[in-house]
Amino acid sequence: MQLEPDEVKAIATRLKRANGHLASVIRMLEEGAECEDALTQLAAVNKAIARGGYALVATGLQKCLAEEGPDSVDAKKLEKLFLAMA
Protein backbone atom coordinates (compact mmCIF):
# COMPACT_ATOMS: atom_id res chain seq x y z
CA MET A 1 0.00 0.00 0.00
CA GLN A 2 1.17 3.48 -0.76
CA LEU A 3 0.17 6.37 1.47
CA GLU A 4 -0.61 9.87 0.29
CA PRO A 5 1.94 12.63 1.05
CA ASP A 6 -0.39 14.30 3.55
CA GLU A 7 -0.77 10.98 5.38
CA VAL A 8 2.96 10.60 5.94
CA LYS A 9 3.92 14.23 6.55
CA ALA A 10 3.82 13.97 10.36
CA ILE A 11 5.67 10.64 10.28
CA ALA A 12 8.36 12.00 7.97
CA THR A 13 8.74 15.07 10.20
CA ARG A 14 9.15 12.83 13.26
CA LEU A 15 11.80 10.72 11.51
CA LYS A 16 13.66 13.79 10.26
CA ARG A 17 13.74 15.11 13.83
CA ALA A 18 15.10 11.74 15.00
CA ASN A 19 17.72 11.90 12.24
CA GLY A 20 18.85 15.30 13.51
CA HIS A 21 18.91 13.98 17.06
CA LEU A 22 21.05 11.04 15.93
CA ALA A 23 23.49 13.45 14.28
CA SER A 24 23.74 15.23 17.64
CA VAL A 25 24.51 11.95 19.40
CA ILE A 26 27.26 11.17 16.88
CA ARG A 27 28.68 14.65 17.41
CA MET A 28 28.58 14.10 21.19
CA LEU A 29 30.61 10.90 20.80
CA GLU A 30 33.11 12.54 18.47
CA GLU A 31 33.55 15.39 20.96
CA GLY A 32 34.20 13.01 23.86
CA ALA A 33 30.91 13.20 25.75
CA GLU A 34 30.26 10.90 28.67
CA CYS A 35 29.01 7.46 27.60
CA GLU A 36 26.00 7.68 29.91
CA ASP A 37 24.90 10.98 28.35
CA ALA A 38 25.33 9.64 24.81
CA LEU A 39 23.44 6.43 25.64
CA THR A 40 20.58 8.38 27.18
CA GLN A 41 20.27 10.45 24.01
CA LEU A 42 20.64 7.36 21.81
CA ALA A 43 17.76 5.72 23.69
CA ALA A 44 15.64 8.78 22.94
CA VAL A 45 16.51 8.52 19.24
CA ASN A 46 15.62 4.83 19.25
CA LYS A 47 12.25 5.57 20.86
CA ALA A 48 11.50 8.34 18.34
CA ILE A 49 12.27 6.04 15.41
CA ALA A 50 10.11 3.27 16.90
CA ARG A 51 7.22 5.70 17.37
CA GLY A 52 7.58 6.74 13.75
CA GLY A 53 7.38 3.10 12.70
CA TYR A 54 4.30 2.43 14.80
CA ALA A 55 2.67 5.58 13.45
CA LEU A 56 3.37 4.36 9.92
CA VAL A 57 1.78 0.96 10.61
CA ALA A 58 -1.22 2.61 12.30
CA THR A 59 -1.72 5.03 9.40
CA GLY A 60 -1.60 2.18 6.90
CA LEU A 61 -4.05 0.15 8.96
CA GLN A 62 -6.46 3.07 9.19
CA LYS A 63 -6.28 3.55 5.43
CA CYS A 64 -6.99 -0.15 4.79
CA LEU A 65 -9.96 -0.13 7.14
CA ALA A 66 -11.37 3.10 5.72
CA GLU A 67 -10.96 2.20 2.06
CA GLU A 68 -11.40 -1.54 1.94
CA GLY A 69 -13.09 -2.60 5.19
CA PRO A 70 -12.03 -4.95 7.99
CA ASP A 71 -11.71 -7.98 5.70
CA SER A 72 -8.87 -6.26 3.85
CA VAL A 73 -6.53 -6.49 6.85
CA ASP A 74 -4.11 -9.40 6.69
CA ALA A 75 -3.65 -10.27 10.38
CA LYS A 76 -0.47 -12.28 9.82
CA LYS A 77 1.13 -9.51 7.78
CA LEU A 78 0.13 -6.94 10.40
CA GLU A 79 1.60 -9.10 13.17
CA LYS A 80 4.83 -9.45 11.20
CA LEU A 81 5.06 -5.66 10.81
CA PHE A 82 4.53 -5.08 14.53
CA LEU A 83 7.06 -7.77 15.46
CA ALA A 84 9.58 -6.20 13.10
CA MET A 85 9.25 -3.01 15.14
CA ALA A 86 9.81 -4.82 18.46
Q: 49-82 pLDDT, tens per residue?
A: 999 998 988 888 887 777 877 777 778 888 888 7
Query: What DSSP letter does each residue of the chain carry, written as one string?
Result: ----HHHHHHHHHHHHHHHHHHHHHHHHHHTT--HHHHHHHHHHHHHHHHHHHHHHHHHHHHHHHHHH-GGG--HHHHHHHHHHH-
Q: What is the pLDDT of residue 30?
A: 97
Q: What is the pLDDT of residue 37?
A: 95
Q: What is the pLDDT of residue 14?
A: 93
pLDDT: is 46 or 75 the higher one? 46
Q: What is the pLDDT of residue 35?
A: 94
Q: 27-41 pLDDT, tens per residue?
A: 999 999 999 999 999
